[in-house]
Structure 1
Amino acid sequence: MTVTVIIPTYKPDGKFRKLVKELKNQTYPIEKILILNTEACYWKDALIEGIQQAEVHHITKEEFDHGRTRAMGAAMADTDLLVFFTQDAVPANNKVIECLVKPFADDSIGGVYGRQLPSEDCKFIERYTRSFNYPAKSRVKRREDLPELGIKTYFCSNVCAAYRRSAYEKEGGFVTKTIFNEDMILAAHMIQDGYGIAYAADAQVIHSHNYNYIQQFQRNFDLAVSQTDHPEIFAGVSSESEGIRLVKQTASYLLKQKKPWLIPDLILASGFKFLGYKAGQHYRRIPRWLVEKLTMNRAYWKQG
């Protein structure tokens, strides 16, 4: 199956350079690497030096949208598979593409996403969160898993993900205006239409964030906004129960690791996440000037 890699960038740095260098060394052939860069003034051609498949397209900050920008890249590709990375996701080895492609041997698979491993500087609690969301065991999620998995049935991450182009096009591609969650929205449409979404634990990238409390609030505010805007997908499944399960399991893990002093940090971070999520659910009742302070993506609210 042929592969196009699509990477949105904004002020790309050393991690992006590592990403494209690792893509060059992959065991599975990549036909083209499409880079959709926001603001040409922040771009340096040296970032893709020696990467023959790379092709750069510049857009403005006003034109960027998590869904529309990726859909733009997908429209430029004519390969069997569309593979997406974020600019700060560094392949852990040279078999990431190979491992993303493998599950597509099953014709019913519409999308595949990889495992995110913590960076060296990742905080202790976030390391556990990575293992909670990205376990060591692969699995395929289908419509019949909704009673067991709830919202995690739809979970998929464009940090490292691949989609069958025929299924992508059948489901209408990425929603072209969304603050967040374009990957889960597409995965949900695929699952509701009978496709499977595979989690490939052997397709590994190094990717993590050390968000502070305010950033946790903002990220979860944006998460709730995206879910509120798509009730046809998210209204019937609860995110909060999954969040509670994560908090309980993390607290238990901290006690087992004899690090109880980290529990207050867990409680505070979880509190900010919860407050951000609840605020995002009711964003339509909040004045626009305040919304722009609560969000992590102010540019989204300035778009028409």
Structure 2
Amino acid sequence: MSEIKATVFIPTYYGEDNLDELFESLIKQKTNFEYEILVIDTSSKDRTPEIIKAWLPKFKHFRYETIAKPDFSHGRVRQQAAQMAQGEYVVYLTQDATPAHDRWLYEIIQPMERFPMVAGVMGKQDPRPNALPLLKEEIIRTFKQFGPDFGTTLFYEDDFIDSQQIFDLVTFYSDVNSAARKSVLLGDVPYQDVPYAEDQKFGEDLVKHGYVKAYAPRANVWHTNEIKLRDYKKRMFDEIVGVRRVGKTMDPISMPFVIKQMVRAYTLGSKFILQDHQYSWKRKLYWLVVNPLFVAEKWKGVRAAIAVDLNDQATIDANSLEKQQEK
């Protein structure tokens, strides 16, 4: 079979830490269809281009392009990939998300293969064993609410959605590990050209246009964002500003709420750390001290992002990790 059914797209930027692991997993995928790898790198100056070029001849179908930093936005580059894709389905992975098994690619497109009304699929994310406890706990809690690991869950808009909270859950979308029909991406639900929260906007647009979103837990990846403590406040600031800019409303966060989260970090967070068998005892002691500091930085960033005037670009730039990394 020579026709390409799926295009696996990976945007890269200083991704040398995980790319070998990612490509090693992709080349082992067991499918009954042809697929291609498409990589767009944003002018990385580390070993990223070298790693990509080393893997390129090992795949039957592999394309690689480079763009300049000013030409990148999360939404724009994903829509560009849809326009370039040869496959019927466009499968999106981030550079730090590694398929957990050799049937991942088969599983991520199965909901669309079997159900014509499904236009977008979100795969499951499993935290890496030694991940920051705050993130590890959040990832487990987030994906647990979308359905059991042994099946596929479908989400769509109807009268059952009677609150903003339910609507946000139904439309929740992450393109760390996802897939969509190219015909839909090039039709009435393209990725919007936004710097952040492009996946949340896409998930909302998908459901509002009457399509069905699927959650495919068997298409799982290992993924955790690696972030330094000194950068975490600004990282959260960027994410929340991005969410607000695509139309999501967020209530102000009070200091009592932040204090409550700190107490939770010292109690339930510490319990999570102590009960996690993937951490060594040395690592547990380290996280018992450091994890609450990350919690504090997280909520400082969230509070600042909710309070900032979206028209005050100077203040936004001053608090932005993205802007800092451009310098």
The TM tier, using the shorter chain, reads: 0.7 to 0.9
Amino acid aligned to 1:192: K
Task: Name the amino acid aligned to 2:72.
Answer: F
SS at match of 1:134: helix
Q: For residue 128 of structure 1, what is the amino acid of its counterpart? A: E
The verdict on how the C-alpha distance between 1:283 and 1:218 changes in structure 2, with shifts beyond 3 A counting, is farther
Quote how far apart the aligned CAs of 1:266 are: 5.7
Give SS of 2:58's match: coil
- Per-residue deviation at 1:181? 1.2
**What is residue 74 of structure 2 aligned with on the other side?**
66
Cα distance in 2, alignment partners of residues 56 and 256 from structure 1: 41
Partner of residue 93 from structure 2, selected from 71, 85, 94: 85
TM-score by length of 2: 0.77
1:249 and 1:111 map into 2 onto residues whose CA distance is 35
Equivalent of 1:197 in 195, 213, 225: 213
Residue in structure 2 matched with residue 206 of structure 1 by the alignment: 222
Q: Does 1:139 align with 2:153?
A: yes
Alignment CA distance shift 1:217-1:14 (3 Å): closer
Structure 2, gaps ≥5 residues long: 276-283
Give SS of 1:2's match.
Answer: strand
2:281 maps to: none
Which of the pair has more CA radius of gyration?
A: 2
Please show how residues 86-105 of structure 1 align to structure 2 within 5 Å: 86-104=94-112, 105=114
Task: Check conservation: 2:245, 2:310, Cα contact below 8 A.
Answer: no
Aligned to 1:126: 135
1:297 paired residue number:
322
Q: Are the aligned partners of 1:171 and 1:186 in contact in 2 as well (CA < 8 Å)? A: no
Percent of aligned pairs with the same amino acid: 21
Q: What amino acid is aligned across from residue 32 of structure 1 in structure 2?
A: E
Instruction: Check conservation: 2:56, 2:63, Cα contact below 8 A.
Output: no
What is the one-letter code of the residue matched to 2:82?
A: A
Let me know the Cα RMSD of the aligned residues: 3.3
SS of the aligned residue for 2:310 comes to helix
- The CA distance in 1 between the partners of 2:177 and 2:91, in whole Å, is 7
Aligned CA distance change for structure 1 residues 174 and 131 (closer, same or farther; 3 Å):
same
Query: What do the CA deviations read for 1:243-281 (whole angstroms, capped 9, x no partner)?
Result: 99x969875474477679978866553443233223223
- Cα distance in 2 between the residues matched to 1:257 and 1:300: 31
Task: Say if 2:134 and 2:295, in contact at 8 Å, map to a contact too.
Answer: no
Find the counterpart in structure 1 of residue 64 from structure 2.
Answer: 56
**2:124 aligned partner, one-letter code:** R
> How is 1:144-223 mapped onto 2 (pairs within 5 angstroms)?
144=158, 146=161, 147=163, 149-176=166-193, 178-223=194-239
- Opposite residue 301 of structure 2, the aligned amino acid is G
Letter in 1 for 2:231: Q
* Structure 1 unpaired stretches of 5+: none
Change (3 A) 1:222 1:41: closer
User: Which of residues 31, 40, 43 in structure 2 aligns to 1:36?
Assistant: 40
Q: Shift of residue 205 of structure 1?
A: 0.9
Between the two proteins, the alignment pairs up a number of residues equal to 294
| 1:165 Cα deviation after fit | 1.7
* 1:5-52 deviation per Cα after TM superposition (whole angstroms, max 9, x unaligned): 111112332521221222122122343211101116551111434122
TM-score, normalisation: structure 1? 0.83
